[in-house]
Amino acid sequence: MRRPLLFTLLFTLPLSPACDGDPSKEADEGVTYRDGSEGGPTSGERGSVKITEVLWSGAVRGDSDRDQRDIFIEIRNESARGINLSGWRLDIEGPAANTLRIPDNDVVLETGEHLIIAATNARCFPDAEIVMPELRLPDGDPFSITLMDADERLIEGVGNAEALPFAGGWDYVHSRSMERVELMFGGEGFFPQAWHFYTPAAVDVPNNDRIAPDCAAHTLASPGRPNSPDYSGAYASGSLE
């Protein structure tokens, strides 16, 4: 007697709204992605866009004029399509929490390209694509940065809000950026081994060509460029996993 009863119950349950045969309703109720085809921001996927360099210790103009507010964050597109970062979010944790929205812009970051988000373009980084005067990073205190797309999807996280910066700093002569190791097997941004100090190139590679000329001697960074070699001398990017 149990089998007929179960058969009857299964086939008299009402259909869920997602199965009413109307594909337009299913699309509305599912997860959608912005592709940028109608303008505005695009969505991202975790790991497809990376924070590849952070100058948190400020830039130096001349031989001693350091401005700790003259900082930048470099982002690289490792996805297979161009993206627009309008409305994407930067969550900065440290001594004080701060949430920033990347302003509306028409910059399309193509595959493999770098984008510079700077606090100002009036000093050492005049070619920054995005200027956010409210961008602040602690000067040597712990911090982390989390990048989320315009739809609040987690994309990338770097640093540690409970540990000292992984690399970079000011030695009273030079200010060096914190650079992502270019050849790293699954190197997550939250792990210190994924980062190194800016190092002078072993060959003649002009890593300072997007730094103002009067800042290049003492501001050691590679904004908008592939990072300087790490201790292994590796330049190649990507993962061999």
Assigned token pair, 26: 């299913």
Identify residue 208 by its one-letter amino acid code.
N
Spatial distance between the Cα atoms of 48 and 55, rounded to a whole number of angstroms: 22
CB 147 within 8 A of CB 141: no
Whose tokens are 């908008």? That residue is 224
Those residues with Cβ within 8 angstroms of residue 183's Cβ, 6 or more apart along the chain or in another chain: 230, 232, 234, 235, 236, 237, 238
Higher-confidence residue: 240 or 163?
163
- Of the candidates 55, 57, 56, 53, the residue with the CA atom closest to the CA atom of residue 170: 57
Checking if the pLDDT of 182 tops 90, the result is no
Mean pLDDT for the stretch of residues 142-154: 95
Exposure letters 147-156 (e unless 16+ CB within 10 A, then b): bbbbbebebb
Assigned token pair, 199: 């190092």
What was the pLDDT predicted at 10?
Answer: 40
- At 103, the pLDDT band (50, 70, 90 cuts) reads very high
Task: Give strand pairing partners of 73.
Answer: 54, 117
Domain residues of the chain, as ranges? Answer: 34-220
Measure Cα distances from 4 to 1, 11, 15, 72 in Å. 6, 11, 20, 69
H or E segment and range at residue 66: strand 65-67
Q: What is the pTM of this model?
A: 0.81
Average confidence score pLDDT of the chain: 82
Spatial distance between the Cα atoms of 192 and 86, rounded to a whole number of angstroms: 29
- At 200, the pLDDT band (50, 70, 90 cuts) reads confident
Whose tokens are 């199965």? That residue is 19
What was the pLDDT predicted at 185?
Answer: 57
Mean pLDDT for the stretch of residues 132-155: 95
What number does CATH give the domain 34-220? 2.60.40.1260
- Of the candidates 107, 5, 113, 105, the residue with the CA atom closest to the CA atom of residue 50: 113
CB 73 within 8 A of CB 90: yes
* End-to-end CA separation in angstroms for the chain: 56
Higher-confidence residue: 42 or 172?
172
Assigned token pair, 125: 């980084």
CB 170 within 8 A of CB 57: yes
- Of the candidates 218, 171, 222, 227, the residue with the CA atom closest to the CA atom of residue 59: 218
What was the pLDDT predicted at 206?
Answer: 58
Chain-centroid distance, C-alpha 138 = 17
CB 168 within 8 A of CB 56: yes
SS3 per-residue string spanning 121-160: CCCCCCCCCEECCCCCCCCCCCEEEEEECCCCCEEEEEEE
